[in-house]
């Protein structure tokens, strides 16, 4: 196995992981920002107030995007399986 093949596979897998993580985290960050602005405008200093909306948004994102997330993971798996001959030989 040449190092280039390993680096290419690793780079492809790392990109997929970053894509999936950002697809989950970005909506949660947006909701957190809106709640933080609301808290700053109303002078409410409750730390637990921002937790529940972010948790709910993360769960909604996981539910809505579950098919796409699964498809991306399956595509990565199939790409890794197809690259086995390059890795071996």
Query: What is the dihedral sign for C-alpha 7, 12, 13, 17?
Result: positive
Question: Which sequence spans correspond to the domains of the chain?
Answer: 3-88
User: Is the pLDDT reported for residue 89 higher than 80?
Assistant: no
Q: What is the pLDDT of residues 18-73, one digit of tens each?
A: 999 999 999 999 999 999 999 889 888 887 888 899 999 999 999 999 999 999 99
Q: What is the pLDDT of residues 76-85, one digit of tens each?
A: 999 999 988 8
Is residue 23 a contact partner of residue 69, using CB atoms and an 8 Å limit?
Answer: yes
**Cα–chain center distance at 51:** 19
């Amino acid at each position: 196995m040449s190092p280039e093949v390993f680096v290419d596979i690793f780079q492809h897998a790392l990109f997929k992981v970053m894509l999936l993580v950002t697809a989950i985290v970005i909506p949660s960050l947006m909701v957190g920002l809106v709640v933080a602005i609301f808290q700053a405008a109303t002078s409410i200093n409750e730390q637990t107030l921002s937790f529940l909306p972010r948790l709910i948004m993360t769960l909604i994102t996981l539910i809505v995007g579950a098919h796409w997330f699964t498809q991306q993971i399956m595509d990565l798996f199939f790409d890794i399986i197809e690259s086995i001959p390059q890795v071996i030989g």
